[in-house]
Amino acid sequence: MITSMVFFPTKEFSLKPESFGLAADDVWCETKDGVRIHGWFLQSKNPTLYLLFFHGNADNISIRLPKVKEWVSRGISVLLVDYRGYGKSGGEIKHGNDICMDAQAALKWLLEKKNSNPSDIILYGESIGAVPAIELATKEKFKAIILEAPFTSLKELAKHHYGMAPDLLLKDFLLDSESKISQIKSPVFVLHGTDDEVVPFSMGKRLFEKAPEPKQFFEIKGAHHNDISLVGGKDFFERPFQFAVNS
């Protein structure tokens, strides 16, 4: 029941890389529990850094292509991956830790296939994607970590929307970023819309306050959960980009 309330995967790709002038290589990586995860690797012209992108809970990697194009145009190569059950990825999400295992498999591919180091990698967590991004960042020091509209924990988010959050139902889906963010080893950039109707602005602000230095917060006035990049405009991409490359 929890998975159907939290995760909304789509199999079909609604957008294609070539429509944005992007060339994408198919990536397949295997998780520790044997699930094949699919993604796209998009090479920039001047690949000195990599962005590892973990998307939100709805649709799949295809609708993130407009965001990815902005990073590739700035000289950052991007690995964009689908969680299990999304897009072409196999399996299905049964436990909150599944998306973290998927993220670990994607990181392993990037480190091994591109001969990269954590110091060359920027982690990007979009909404629920902040959960695996933060988890990885507690274990290694990356170039930077960017969190777009992150929530504190699934339990608190459920209480906000439904007025209740039974511990028995959520025991396998803690998704508790608030308890971990102080442990991360990388520079932190947080973006959040003031009018976010899905993840309250106060959650992103609280995570930012508990994150270690160096860090920066970008408050996007009037932005909701799904129009944050449009309302933020050029600064939505340029400010975290400048923060990351200069960290």
Q: What is the pLDDT along the chain (247 residues), one digit of tens a residue?
A: 678 888 999 999 999 999 999 999 999 999 999 999 999 999 998 778 999 999 999 999 999 999 999 999 999 999 999 999 999 999 999 998 999 999 999 999 999 999 999 999 999 999 999 999 999 999 999 999 999 999 999 888 888 777 766 665 677 778 999 999 999 999 999 999 999 999 999 999 999 999 999 999 999 999 999 999 999 999 999 999 999 999 9
CA distance 115 to 123: 17
Residue 190 pairs with which residues in a beta bridge? 147, 217
Q: 2-245, which class in CATH? A: alpha beta
Residue 219 pairs with which residues in a beta bridge? 192
Query: Which pTM does this prediction carry?
Result: 0.96
Residue 127 pairs with which residues in a beta bridge? none
* Per-residue buried b or exposed e for 156-169, using 16+ beta carbons within 10 Å of the residue's own CB: bbbebeeeebeeee
Domain ranges within the chain, ordered by starting residue: 2-245
Q: Which residues are catalytic?
A: 127, 196, 225
